[in-house]
Amino acid sequence: MHFYLESWGMDVSKHAKFLHNTIRQMIQYTYAVIVQSSRSKVSRTNGGKCDIQKAHVLWLGKRAFHAVLRKFEIYSSSLLKLLAFELALPSNQRIGHRFKRLVKESSSIMVTIGL
């Protein structure tokens, strides 16, 4: 996403709300695809099921976007603030606490691969 925005020359601060909404829609779409895939004939035949909660997928997606985009200066203002605000909500803080170990492990992996 960063490289597309960079190549388009988009003013991120001017379009922060649009980009934030786009990120939210992509994460919600991803959740819908996960659930739909778990209900497919192949999945059911092989005993597949999906017990993941939507709130967890939304949190993980927002956290991932925030973690990656904060590495680039052009997001240092409005877009990151919108994501940070949502992550700071009490319900999201509880989810964040639950996934604290996962975040720590993924952060070390990101450092290893140079993000």
Are 55 and 90 in contact by the 8 Å Cβ rule? The answer is: no
Residue 38 or residue 77, greater confidence:
38
Q: Using one digit for the tens of pLDDT, what is the confidence trace for 8-56?
A: 887 788 888 999 999 999 999 999 999 988 888 888 888 887 888 999 9
Confidence of residue 57 (pLDDT cuts 50, 70, 90): very high
Residue 112 or residue 3, greater confidence:
3
Question: Does the pLDDT value for residue 110 go beyond 70?
Answer: no
In the block, tokens 């959740």 appear at: 31
Question: Does the pLDDT value for residue 115 go beyond 60?
Answer: no
